[in-house]
Structure 1
Amino acid sequence: MDIGKTRPVAASRTVTGRGTLRGPRRPRLGNGAAYVLLMALSVVFAGPFLWLLLAALKTREEWVSVPGSVLPDQVQWSNFTHALTDVNFAAYAMNSLFLSTTYAFLITLSSAAVGFGFARLRAPGKRALFLVVLSTMMLPQVLTILPTYVMFSRLGLVNTYWPWVLWGLAASPYLVFLFRQFFAAIPRELEDAAIIDGCGWPRIFVRIFLPLSRPVLITAFLLSFTWSWGDYIAPALLLDVDHTTLSVAIASWYKDPHGNGIPTVQAAAATLYIMPVLLIFFFAQRHFIRSVVGSAVKG
């Protein structure tokens, strides 16, 4: 072989210290441009909450007469006092907390059990059934409102919390998909060793898979809690005044003597209403990201 006639390495490639070839470097977005982009997106996403907070600090006259003003002339902290005292805010908040926690706990466990079955158990028609479960996510909620009300009314469950218990036990298609993807990535050697030790499937699910799925459990609980906490249609349709949730109270019962809504007090109440969800997301975001990344790849 004539060394002098060896073909030179292409100019678009570089030779590393180990003799491997690397392609041309792609231009990367600078750190400064990335920070600018992230700040712009942060403003877009935080804009509605900031607008709500500023609206809660305005007077009613300023809200009506100067709708385009951004900052309040005089900060009205009394709007938050009225939000807490004009209606029984604490009682409705406890109703929302109890309902959302119960629903989130039940639907997280039921979705985990269904996702475990789709991921690890063998049965004829399992794939087709899984596609049917996923297809229900495309069904608009508006189509099921009246049939749901008629069904619960005939069962005598209106003005009770039993509909949320039944919904929680029925699992969620999205959460089933989330758990199924996570459980499918767990090595099969773990369950094989447990079966050899004499464990049945329920014990394998409780003792092995649930402890390993802590990030997904937290994410599922967080999402389902948020769904129930922010729901307005179901409580307004199924619950009476004494048992309803905070979302219905905020939308309906902040009125002046003439029966007109008080938007600034409603804005203050809505600000207090979304604070628990923001705090939950703030403290649980690490588990949320881990679960989404871990469930995105099937082993």
Structure 2
Amino acid sequence: MALVSFRDALKKYDSRITVNHLTLDIGQGEIFGLLGPNGAGKSTSIRMAAGLLPLDGGDITLDGRSVRSQPLEVKRRLGLVPQELAIYEQLTAWENVAFFGRLYGLRGKLLKQRVEEALGFVGLADRAGDKPHTFSGGMKRRLNIACAITHRPMLIIMDEPTVGIDPHSRNHILESVRELNRLGSTVIYTTHYMEEVEAICTRIGIIDQGKLIASGTKDQLRRQAGQDIVLSLETDRRDQEAIREIRSHPRIRHVSEGDGGRLDLTVDDSPTVLQDVLFILNKHQVSLKQLTRNEPNLESLFLHLTGRSLRDA
């Protein structure tokens, strides 16, 4: 069941359409990576979902509540970690988190408990009394997350939360995203770092020119893009009977013979293909010396679909 639904969502500025009738479902419990070149409409899309920008057409719902007709109900159910830091330098870390907790209606002992939980979660409990101007960039990013999760939202929107920080803080944030998801929050995650998407996202959507051009798991995107998996096998000898049998396999689209006993197999992504190939080789008493699996990564998929690299986009 979809927790978040974009239905024909439209945003335009004068005659320029930024989000072009976007339709997209994000299921409960997902870490959904939303990718796109600069200017593709991804930031506008999540700002509309968070109720920060009005829609010019269509609708977006969270847990069945419409951002157009029930904006406060939607906002109560989400937490936003914006790309630009949303913290107050003149307040302590504790005061920052408490401020946002009060905006969501937390008071008294419950507010104190949730603030302490949030600061502990992001690893800043020992810096609760310090002001952000004494923090590193990574610590400020973590404080930003604490402010967004104090009310335990069902949806957390993270817009490039690791921009400009050190590797240690980046790893801490990625682990935090996994843990928030494990604890029950659905996450929409945008980034310019493909390795982050590879590491944490359960499903991915790619938008360009305001339209959804592909969505699915990494394997599903690869199939949509027509990208191939190639199994490279080094065998102890060439056996034409074995090669003929391998060529006839319904999930092997192409077989290329190289020097010695080398075979390059273009295959569908089926878990049984390799098992079948090994069975055929063993039947013909051909020994496998080395096996390499080559498949496109998300960067190559993105380049194939948009014509641009994500970091250069």
For Structure 1 versus Structure 2, the TM-score category normalised by the shorter chain is under 0.3
Give the TM-score taking structure 1 as reference length: 0.18
**Which has the larger strand fraction?**
2
Q: Which has the higher contact order (CA 8 A, sep 6+)?
A: 1
